[in-house]
A and B are shown apart, each in its own frame.
Chain A
Amino acid sequence: MGGVPATATARRARPARDPRPRGVTLGRVVASEADKLTSLRSTGWLALATVAAAAATAWGLVFARPEPGASGAPIAVAGAVLSQLGFLVLGARTGADEYRSGTARSTFAAVPRRLPVLAGQALVTAAAALVVAVTALGAAVAATAGLRAAAGLALDVTDPETARLLAGFVLHQTGVALVGLGLGALVRRPDAALVAGVLALVVLDHLLATNPGRVADTARALLPGAGARVLLDDGRLDALAAGSLGPHPGPWSGYLVLAAWAAALLAAAAYRLRRGDVT
């Protein structure tokens, strides 16, 4: 490493008096992961598209709901199915992009214990997903404000069901982003992670719903898409339970299924990272 600049030598002479820890700390890994995410221009576009998808879906649906006096919350969170794709891409890219571009080699040379990188990615992904989800929800509520007032659809945050739906939107999207991160870090290819995520979250659920039966309904309740139950109002949950021969988890146990998927995928990715080679 010849040719160390003079300032670097001077700085190296001092460290005994420097109280800050040297080397790799979790805080620094988190900071560098946050840098990586926010430095990509595509992250901004992805966030913008996600917010736009959530707001546009909600706005488009206001026209279709005529009955006044109903709650406006299901409309406000209606963009979740479409916009969850953005959160999935966010997580899958964070988890897998470095393996594709080859920068994983530098990253793990800098953090030889490896696991702090995955922890840092999880924290950064969750934080980014929270911010984007809150923005998307705000955009959906704001975009529908005038139309909701005209249609007589109330949005009362003190109502427990409304509060559950609004909080559920943010939590569900964060969970989806972490599932995407787990898939991306596990398979290490963003495209494969994306396809697997879409299949598990949307396609399989829809396919099983069109072929009802005891096995299909049980599998449906155990897919990560069960997390979307936190976004359904009580009437629709009852309708879902009435039409199902399998277990019918409530909104929060449905969300726990999603959380368990995220935890299991991240644990599998951590195992591969710890035991396997980084290539």
Chain B
Amino acid sequence: MTATTAASRRARPTAHRPADAGGPTLPRVVAAQWTALTSLRSSWWAAALTVVVSGVLTHLSAQASSVDPGFDPLGSLTSGVVLSQVPPLVLGVLVGTGDFSTGAFRTTYVAVPRRWPVLVAQTVATAAFALLTAVAAVAAAVLALLPSARSRDIALDLGRDGTPQTLVGMTLLLTAIALLGLAIGALVRRSVPALTAAVLLVLVLPVVLLLATDLSTDPLAPATGGVPPAVAVVNTVVAFLPSGAGALLTADVVVEGAPDLGPWGGGLVLAAWIALPLAAAALRLRTRDVV
């Protein structure tokens, strides 16, 4: 019965519909990638972990500083970001490498022989999933501030200068980090090397550079006022790393010795970190064999 309906359905399109309507159109590939992403239990674990880490760390940080005399609950808003960007990063890498590590890429690219729609669809699906996760994580961070704010009878004013930018910036940062993971994963195609590269770039390099400045400046030397050249160099490098650029998104900070990029500049640097590996991945997908 199914066979006959399928056959009769197949008989029609040549007469009435354009020839490509039955093929893998971009919306269909996006729908397929969305199904692939949301069918994995690990995606939901990553999302849940992001929200929980964001809420718990923000709560702990606000609670710890709520005894300070000049306590500002909104000052603790971003304290969970460093750790809550880890699950989106891993999620992105796993989406980018998943097809290749399981062998499912053979099926995927037989179904979509033009290949690039798959990468576009993965980007769209990951961005959507990460955006929803990020909104939930930021909401969790705001809610986590309430107990310590109430304990000091301080009202949370989210419309205060700078706070809307911080909220939007945190959401964009978490989404962008997932896309950065996807770009690296799609380019490298092997989960362990891709994850090593992503973790190195986003988490380890900023710490290493910080420790390097620590080592190169004498802790006992009197402060001479100006910014030491080593610190200026390191701060400039950090501002152009994904994490430093992302920090510019969430707050209007002036890092000493680094060029003042502002939130837009930071966003552009972060976008470039996503676009370049993604373009390289598309080029590799287009011109080389999929293995």
Binding site for B on A (CB under 8 A): 42, 57, 60-61, 64-65, 67, 74-75, 78, 81-82, 85, 89, 92-93, 100, 190-191, 194-195, 198-199, 202-204, 206-207, 211, 213, 235-236, 239
Contact segment of B130-138, B165-173, B201-209, B281-289:
B201-209
Instruction: State whether the Cβ of B200 lies closer than 8 Å to any Cβ in chain A.
Output: yes
Once A190-B192, A191-B191, A191-B195 are accepted as A-B contacts, the answer to whether A57 and B212 lie under 8 Å apart by CB is: yes
Chain B interface mostly: helix
CB distance from A182 to the nearest CB of B (A): 17
Residue picked from B192, B205, B230, most chain A C-beta under 10 Å: B192
The 3 closest A-B pairs by CB, nearest first: A64-B216, A64-B230, A206-B207
Question: Does A89 contact B215, Cβ atoms closer than 8 Å?
Answer: no
CA of A199 to CA of B210 in the docked complex: distance in angstroms? Answer: 17
- Other-chain contact of B203, A61, A202, A211, A213 (Cβ < 8 Å): A202
CB distance from B239 to the nearest CB of A (A): 18
Instruction: State whether the Cβ of B180 lies closer than 8 Å to any Cβ in chain A.
Output: no
Instruction: State whether the Cβ of B26 lies closer than 8 Å to any Cβ in chain A.
Output: no
Q: Which residue of A lies closest to B203 (CB)?
A: A203
Q: Which residue of B lies closest to A88 (CB)?
A: B196
Once A61-B212, A74-B215, A191-B94 are accepted as A-B contacts, the answer to whether A85 and B83 lie under 8 Å apart by CB is: no
Once A64-B212, A199-B86, A203-B83 are accepted as A-B contacts, the answer to whether A85 and B204 lie under 8 Å apart by CB is: yes
Between A and B, 15 residue pairs with Cβ closer than 8 Å are A57-B212, A61-B212, A61-B215, A61-B216, A64-B212, A64-B217, A81-B204, A85-B200, A191-B90, A191-B191, A194-B196, A195-B86, A199-B86, A207-B82, A236-B219
Once A74-B215, A85-B196, A194-B196 are accepted as A-B contacts, the answer to whether A57 and B203 lie under 8 Å apart by CB is: no
Q: Which residue of A lies closest to B194 (CB)?
A: A191
Question: Does A65 contact B216, Cβ atoms closer than 8 Å?
Answer: yes
| Binary per-residue interface labels of chain B (227-268) against chain A in the complex, 1 for a CB within 8 Å, 0 otherwise | 000100000000000000000000000000000000000000
Chain B residues within 8 Å of A60, by CB: 212
- Other-chain contact of B204, A65, A82, A191, A211 (Cβ < 8 Å): A82
CB distance from B55 to the nearest CB of A (A): 16
Chain B residues within 8 Å of A203, by CB: 82-83, 86, 203, 207
CA of A220 to CA of B212 in the docked complex: distance in angstroms? Answer: 20
Instruction: State whether the Cβ of B146 lies closer than 8 Å to any Cβ in chain A.
Output: no
Once A191-B90, A213-B64 are accepted as A-B contacts, the answer to whether A198 and B203 lie under 8 Å apart by CB is: yes
CB distance from B15 to the nearest CB of A (A): 49
| Binary per-residue interface labels of chain B (56-67) against chain A in the complex, 1 for a CB within 8 Å, 0 otherwise | 000001001000
Chain A residues within 8 Å of B163, by CB: none
Q: Which residue of A lies closest to B211 (CB)?
A: A81
CA of A104 to CA of B267 in the docked complex: distance in angstroms? Answer: 45
Instruction: State whether the Cβ of B199 lies closer than 8 Å to any Cβ in chain A.
Output: yes
Question: Does A211 contact B196, Cβ atoms closer than 8 Å?
Answer: no
CB distance from A210 to the nearest CB of B (A): 8
Chain A residues within 8 Å of B108, by CB: none
Question: Does A207 contact B212, Cβ atoms closer than 8 Å?
Answer: no
CA of A89 to CA of B61 in the docked complex: distance in angstroms? Answer: 32
Chain B residues within 8 Å of A204, by CB: 83
Q: Which residue of B lies closest to A236 (CB)?
A: B219
Once A81-B211, A89-B192 are accepted as A-B contacts, the answer to whether A239 and B230 lie under 8 Å apart by CB is: no
